[in-house]
Amino acid sequence: MSRSLRTLGFVVLALAIALAFAVADLLFFTRTEVGLERVRRVVVHQLERRVQGALRIERITSERGFLGGATIHRLEIADTLGRPFVRADSLRLSYGLRDLVAGRISFSRVSIDGAEVYLERLPGDTLWNFQRIFADTTPGEAGGAGPLILFEQARITNSRLVVRYPWAPDEPIEEPDDTARLILREAPGGLVRELRFEDVNADLPQVLWESPLEEGRMFRVRSLSTRGYIWEDPFDLRDLRGVVTMRDSVIAFDIDRFQLPATRGSGLGRIITGEETRYDIEIDGDEVALADLRWLYPPLPEEGGGNLKFRIQTVPQGTLWLARDARIRTPTTEMAGNFGIVTGDTLYLTEIALRASPLDLELLERVLPIEIPVEGVLVGTVEVEGPISSLTTRGDLRLVARGGETSPGAAVRWHGTVDLSPPYGVQNLVAEIRRLDLALLSEFRPSVGIGGHVDGRIEATGRFDRDLRFAASLRHRVGDGAVSSLEGQGRLTRIDGRRALDATIEARPLALDGVAAAFPALVRLTGEASGPIHVRGALDDLAVDADLATSAGRLRLDGGIVVGDGAPRYRGGGRLENFRLAQVLSGLDVAETILDASFG
């Protein structure tokens, strides 16, 4: 045998021995506990080079050999302050050897159980914790492309996600609990707002955590369920499917479907986190249960629902909650149209164009922070724009008693500006009314005790507690009796701390039996009277001057009405000229009596 052949033989033998040792080492490292422990130390060492913080892996196991996949037990990552970032009971991974050799972190199957993830940006920080933990410390151009980190067919079970970011009140507070519905926590540097998602179970076909092609993260969701706490009141998300992307401070999502206990729909939008969190979210609710939305707005009723397009958007005045193309039903109310509320320092109503058939005023009073001085249900349309203290509004409504009584209800058509915050006010309000029950005035002044119904037109500007100017053309009817026609103008003011009235009214004519029906003490009056009537003074002590031509003769009146805690009291004085009492006083035997006298 030649020398060259002998040399080749030794080389082949050496390669075979080296290969045998390599295989033995590979089997040792991938199939024995001692080998896997050495692998765990190598993995931890390599990961620690990328993690700016503390990393702990309790142990690594493999059922099919380390090259086919591994299970990481009790994974913990904390930031440089020792605050937790990730805790997981178990993390199962399947991967390809080629990807690992090429420097790509690509896992084909991932299963995470019992994980806790904390995404934090503490007061005074500009970066989130994961941006600090995985900061690129290698030399080179800042912001350059990173390696591929890809998870496919990922499954998350029994996990928890907590998001925290800085929160500062407009005014100092003593305790975090002093705030309304926010979840606040103390953290280094101040207070943070917390969003918490419990019992997270998810099926994610693809998670792109990092890419050499572009910045940002992308999550494809096949199914997701959780119990979330954005405010103190939780929501119960039964299922969700769509795509979520994160880039810098913007979280964007396109949701193909979502399902709450009795609600389903789709949506898209974005959330911008920074010094202030901003929202722009649109939801198409194919089927909506109001109870499922009470976490957003607790005053919503527990029963009822429908369908709508819903938008949540941060605007300069606060947060816009806008329902469009809504069809909502509750046990006492049916509404269709648009309805918007801006919550912030003050409540602001916007883009309201509703058809109510009917609208329960008691329900409306519960939903909105206002007091409504009447009871019943409304049927008709209403448009409203502006804050509660300055509502530009128009509408055409009919008020009927709750319970569905068959008697016709009051109706009003109006346009103008209304202040619904007590003590109430109006600006350039024009209202045409029909069958307005004067008993409703008892809601403002229980001791007035005026009866009957009014039709006509009213124009008004001012506030009920200070200076309200008005003009009116009204017809008053009590039951099926005669009709009074009144035109006039006046002012509702305040004198010495008491509300006062100064009005001039022209009776064309005034039905005296209608006055008697409205004021029981004048029960014997009958006939008609025409002429000017001047009413002035405090509302609880009104002076009444009148110069009236009646069917009985001329009546000059100088009287008054005192309204106290009990029944109204009347005082009167004046003069009768050629006056036939039988024409105005029923039930008296005064047929031949003609008076020309003064009284008081």
pLDDT of residue 116 exceeding 70, the answer is yes
Of 41-55, 424-438, 480-494, the one with minimum mean pLDDT is: 41-55
End-to-end CA distance of the chain: give it in Å, rounded.
Answer: 155
pLDDT of residue 585: 66
pLDDT of residue 388 exceeding 80, the answer is no
Q: What are phi and psi of 41, to 5 degrees?
A: -65, -40
Q: State pLDDT tens for residues 469-505.
A: 999 999 888 777 678 898 999 998 988 878 888 999 9
Helix (H, G, I), strand (E, B) or coil at 165: strand
Sign of CA dihedral 11, 14, 19, 20: positive
The CA distance from 270 to 282, in Å, is: 9
Helix (H, G, I), strand (E, B) or coil at 370: coil
Residue 455: how many CB atoms within 10 A of its CB?
Answer: 18
pLDDT of residue 10 exceeding 50, the answer is no
**Radius of gyration of the chain, Cα coordinates, nearest whole angstrom:** 40
Angle between helices 33-50 and 3-31 (to 10 degrees): 80
Q: State pLDDT tens for residues 188-246.
A: 888 899 999 999 999 999 998 888 887 888 999 999 999 999 888 999 999 999 999 98
Residue 153 gets the label, from left (phi > 0), alpha (psi -120 to 50) or beta, of left
pLDDT of residue 25 exceeding 50, the answer is no
Q: State the Cα angle at 220 between 219 and 221, rounded to 5°.
A: 110
- Which H or E element spans position 587? none
The CA distance from 540 to 341, in Å, is: 39
Q: Are 366 and 301 in contact (CB under 8 A)?
A: yes
Q: Which residue has the tokens 């004067």?
A: 438
Beta bridge partners of 541: 538, 562
The CA distance from 273 to 340, in Å, is: 24
317 burial via Cβ count (<10 Å: 0-12, 13-18, 19+) = middle
Nearest to 155 by CA among 102, 207, 77, 233: 207
pLDDT of residue 61: 78
What's at 114, amino acid-wise? G
Q: What share of the chain is helix, strand, coil (3-state, %, to 5)?
A: 15, 55, 30
Computed over every residue of the chain, the mean pLDDT equals: 78
pLDDT of residue 48: 57
Mean pLDDT, residues 367-382 taken together: 69
178 burial via Cβ count (<10 Å: 0-12, 13-18, 19+) = exposed
pLDDT of residue 591: 57
Q: Are 385 and 392 in contact (CB under 8 A)?
A: yes
Which of the 8 DSSP states describes residue 189?
T
Nearest to 522 by CA among 453, 452, 586: 586
pLDDT of residue 281: 94
Nearest to 347 by CA among 289, 378, 301, 386: 386
Residue of higher predicted confidence among 2 and 417: 417
Q: Are 455 and 473 in contact (CB under 8 A)?
A: no
- Residue 584's pLDDT band, with cuts at 50, 70 and 90, is low
* 255: Cβ contacts below 8 Å, ≥ 6 apart: 240, 241, 242, 266, 267, 268
pLDDT of residue 228: 95
Residue 214, CA distances (Å) to 141, 146, 207, 247, 270 in order: 15, 9, 14, 10, 19
Q: Are 244 and 221 in contact (CB under 8 A)?
A: yes
- Which H or E element spans position 495? strand 483-495
Nearest to 380 by CA among 407, 355, 349, 409: 355
Q: State pLDDT tens for residues 65-106.
A: 555 567 888 888 898 888 999 999 988 877 665 655 555 667
CA atoms within 13 A on the CB side of 364: 20
Q: What are phi and psi of 12, to 5 degrees?
A: -60, -40
Strand duo 594-599 + 250-260: pairing? unpaired
Q: Are 29 and 36 in contact (CB under 8 A)?
A: yes
Strand duo 149-166 + 528-538: pairing? unpaired
pLDDT of residue 461 exceeding 50, the answer is yes
CA atoms within 13 A on the CB side of 138: 10
Of 166-180, 271-285, 297-311, the one with minimum mean pLDDT is: 166-180
pLDDT of residue 307 exceeding 90, the answer is yes
Nearest to 584 by CA among 515, 512, 484, 533: 512
Q: Are 288 and 263 in contact (CB under 8 A)?
A: yes
Residue 517, Cα to own-chain centre: how many angstroms?
47
Beta bridge partners of 391: 418
Mean pLDDT, residues 379-393 taken together: 79
Encoding tokens for residue 143? 């912001």
pLDDT of residue 23 exceeding 50, the answer is no
The CA distance from 373 to 397, in Å, is: 16
Which of the 8 DSSP states describes residue 408?
P
Beta bridge partners of 543: 536, 560
Mean pLDDT, residues 585-597 taken together: 63
Q: State pLDDT tens for residues 125-134.
A: 888 888 888 7
Helix (H, G, I), strand (E, B) or coil at 33: helix
Q: Which residue has the tokens 């206002």?
A: 370
The CA distance from 382 to 336, in Å, is: 11
Residue 410: how many CB atoms within 10 A of its CB?
Answer: 21
Sign of CA dihedral 402, 404, 410, 415: positive
pLDDT of residue 600 exceeding 80, the answer is no
Residue 365: how many CB atoms within 10 A of its CB?
Answer: 15
What's at 117, amino acid-wise? V
